Amino acid sequence: MGNLLTSSSSNKQIDPDCKELDFIFDKKFNDRLLNEYCKQIGQLQKLNVLKLEFGSVNKNVNEQKLIQFLEGTNTCSSLEQIEIYFEYQKLNEKIVAGLNQGLKKCQNINCLKFFFFDSYRKNDKQKPCGDSQIKLISQILSVNSVKTQFIKLDLSQISNSGLIILSNSLNQCSNINTFIINLKESQMIFADGIQCLSQSISNHINLKILQLEFFDCNLTDQTAQYLFQGITKCQKLCKLNITLQATYQLTDEAIKCLSEAFIQLSNLQILIINIMMNNFGEQGIGQILGKSVLQCKNLKNIYFTLALNKILQNDAEILCKELSKSHTLNFITIFFFFLDIQDRPNQNKRLEQICKKTKKLISLKLLV
């Protein structure tokens, strides 16, 4: 049972049995509401998770108010986890200082989760994540590194220097088990930035979930190789999600490097690969991916999006034949989406028949 609290909430009373509380610092946030909510939160005996959303912060939310609010939550002995959501364009030094000081006072907390995202809406132009904003994000992560277990970054048009600053701060977060980064329209990231990110990933040996998403970014086969080298150190990974979409520069060499990386992950159970809109397929990507999947002895779920590349129909058959040899796969989802196919229904049926031979298959979804 949970509550959603804003300044406009019709009911200002918090359910005393509430286990999860979502608090939004909106534009009408004021001292009276802060005092009222702090008093109630401090009396809760079952609250376990507190979510703080800073999507619409303004001048009314200052450093001292944040410290006061977080200090008030410290009297809630059952509270163990705080999740914090930021539109990174609205970060400022006072908010960051208040947050860092306030979190220091939360002695009961053993898990922090941070979400930083772009504030753009549908049909709006994405705004760059400048180095000044990256430095504020890095301050939050560095100061709260010990208790941080989950980080999600959704950033647009980040610079190479910004990526290096961010990666250096991530190095200090030694206890994270989930790391998600989504970079969009970042054409100014280069080899040294990618190497720095890869090195940071390799330092997080406790990672169980890793999601790396690059949309319309400056990635080449060489920089992709640098990126994948860091993955091999994360031996506890159970879920790996890689998106390399609309880069147009990547070839099968990048897939070879990715395959060489994920076959070293002995605990991998879920593998998601999205490589739409590139130049894959010239060297037989089906053979590369298929044989690599078979070497992952604990892999149960694969989700491949291979559309809008140079992959041919016979290569798709090779991939499906390799996958059918697996003794562990339960769920197979593959989107090929051939543009020049003549008999789509029959080709789809043929590939399905091949995949259905997989010994422990539970669910199959193919689209050619």
Hey, which of 22-26, 94-98, 287-291, 297-301 has the most confident mean pLDDT? 297-301
| pLDDT confidence of residue 337 | 80
Please report whether residue 94 resides in a domain: yes
Please report whether residue 76 resides in a domain: yes
Token pair of 246 as six digits:
């609309």
Burial class (CB in 10 A: 0-12, 13-18, 19+), 70: buried
Question: Angle 131-143/160-170 helices, nearest 10 degrees?
Answer: 0
Lowest mean pLDDT among 2-11, 177-186, 203-212, 295-304: 2-11
Q: What angle do CA 317, 320, 322 make, to 5 degrees?
A: 110
Share of the chain above pLDDT 90, in %: 59
Please report whether residue 288 resides in a domain: no
Please report whether residue 304 resides in a domain: no
| pLDDT confidence of residue 347 | 86
| pLDDT confidence of residue 7 | 52
Sorted by sequence, the CB contacts under 8 Å of residue 106 that are 6+ apart come out as: 70, 73, 74, 79, 82
Q: What confidence category does residue 1 fall into, taking pLDDT thresholds of 50, 70 and 90? A: very low
Domain that holds residue 104: 1-109
Sorted by sequence, the CB contacts under 8 Å of residue 221 that are 6+ apart come out as: 249, 250, 251, 253, 254, 257
pLDDT tens digit string along 319-336?
Answer: 999 999 999 999 999 998
SS3 190: coil
Residue 200 CA, chain-centre distance (Å), reads 15
Q: Residue 2, Cβ neighbours under 10 Å: how many? A: 14
**Averaged pLDDT for residues 87-106:** 89
The amino acid that residue 120 corresponds to is Y
> Distance (Å, rounded) from C-alpha 322 to C-alpha 305?
17
> Distance (Å, rounded) from C-alpha 74 to C-alpha 37?
13
pLDDT tens digit string along 241-260?
Answer: 999 987 778 888 999 999 99
Mean pLDDT of the chain: 88
Please report whether residue 115 resides in a domain: no
Residue 68 CA, chain-centre distance (Å), reads 31
pLDDT tens digit string along 108-155?
Answer: 899 999 999 886 555 556 678 899 999 999 999 999 999 999 999 999
Q: Give φ, ψ of 356 to 5 degrees.
A: -65, -10
3-class SS string, 5-68: ECCCCCCCCCCCCCCEEEEECCCCCCHHHHHHHHHHHHHCCCCCEEEEEECCCCCCCCHHHHHH
Token pair of 152 as six digits:
């999600």
| pLDDT confidence of residue 23 | 85
> Given the structure tokens 């005092």, which residue do they identify?
35
Token pair of 245 as six digits:
């979409």
- 316, pLDDT greater than 80: yes
Number of H helices, E strands in the chain: 11, 13
| pLDDT confidence of residue 69 | 84
The residues facing 335 across adjacent strands are 305, 367
Decide: 171 and 200 in contact? Cβ < 8 Å.
yes
Token pair of 132 as six digits:
């000044």
| pLDDT confidence of residue 12 | 67
Please report whether residue 152 resides in a domain: no
**Averaged pLDDT for residues 99-105:** 91
Share of the chain above pLDDT 70, in %: 90
Largest CA distance in the chain: 68
- 34, pLDDT greater than 80: no
pLDDT tens digit string along 259-299?
Answer: 999 999 999 999 999 988 888 877 788 899 999 999 999 99
Please report whether residue 285 resides in a domain: no
Total-model pTM? 0.93
> Distance (Å, rounded) from C-alpha 78 to C-alpha 283?
56
Please report whether residue 59 resides in a domain: yes
Number of domains the chain is built from:
1
